[in-house]
Amino acid sequence: FSIETELRRALDKDQLKLFYQPLINLKSGEVAGFEALARWNHEDRGEISPTEFIPVAEESGLILQLGRWAMHKAADTLAAWDKEAGERLPVYVGVNLSAIQVARDDVASVVQSALKSSGLTGDRLTLELTESSIVQDPARATRVFDALKSLEATVAMDDFGTGYSSLAYLQRLPIDVLKIDRSFVTGMMVDPDSVAIVRAVLSLADALGMSTTAEGIETVELATTLATLGCASGQGFYFAKPLEPAEALDYWKSRRR
């Protein structure tokens, strides 16, 4: 069978999972939130990477079903952590939204429905959008971003600096967080130009009143340097890889002060 057929079946049989990668407050060392990342362990083929199945989901339209599932699952998981911990965890969960969802689904209604069924308030959710969500239909993107803000959700620009959109959208759209793409963070180790780009993004975010997250932090040196440069939060294998839900809750507890 094709990957598409298998993916459709896996979605129908609820065989995908979400893993949760911690985002660390680089000042306090506490967990600020978790990014939900889809995982597919195929019964015969083993682990299939999202870099393989997300494009298939986008081309086939299955991303709408996958995206709704991920939104509900991530919200339900955070609500379950609250319940298990006996308190409202001071963390958010970040969910990736494909440009196809922004173009073709009513993502604000999907978010609203996930909030309603989980009982979470909107401020517990971060939606990670890419620049490609904006370029095709900026007017639609503006309506979608505004609708997400009216639900009090946080809007993060994922993979910032790698897309094809202009800086003008930073002025026009309600963006709360810039996620500095992993390629710039990794580049900081070897390439002074990457350091310059990261500094410039941090300064731009600061001037526009936005927060920042650095992706792909793999060493203590990078964590320290980014903290010194004023980056608010970071994620990467130095802190933790994407974790199963129970492991993620334990990780939060272990970093609590």
Interacting residue ranges for Na ion, rule: CB under 5 A: 96, 128, 158
CA dihedral 249, 252, 253, 255 (to 10 degrees): 160
51 binds, among Na ion, Mn ion, ligand G, none (CB under 5 to 8 A by kind): ligand G
Nearer to ligand G, 85 or 106 (CB): 106
Nearer to ligand G, 88 or 117 (CB): 117
Q: Give min distance, CB of 124 to Mn ion, in A.
A: 20
Site for Mn ion in 145-184 (CB under 5 A): 158-159
Taking CB atoms, the residue at the shortest distance from ligand G is: 236
Are 149 and 155 within 8 A, CB to CB? yes
134 binds, among ligand G, Mn ion, Na ion, none (CB under 5 to 8 A by kind): none
Nearer to ligand G, 6 or 215 (CB): 215
Nearer to Na ion, 82 or 158 (CB): 158
The pair phi, psi for residue 253, each rounded to 5°, is -60, -40
35 is an interface residue for Mn ion by CB under 5 A: no
The pair phi, psi for residue 212, each rounded to 5°, is -135, 145
77 binds, among Na ion, ligand G, Mn ion, none (CB under 5 to 8 A by kind): none
Q: Give min distance, CB of 75 to ligand G, in A.
A: 13
State whether residue 40 is helix, strand or coil.
strand
Are 37 and 242 within 8 A, CB to CB? yes
| Chain residues that interact with ligand G, rule: CB under 6 A | 21, 37-38, 49-51, 54, 70, 96, 98, 158-159, 182, 215-218, 235-237, 242
Cα dist. 103→54, 79, 82, 107 in Å? 16, 28, 33, 9
Cα dist. 24→78, 123, 213, 223 in Å? 17, 18, 9, 10
Nearer to Mn ion, 8 or 39 (CB): 39
According to DSSP, the β-strands at 177-180 and 233-234 are: unpaired
Residues that bind Mn ion (CB under 5 A): 158-159, 215
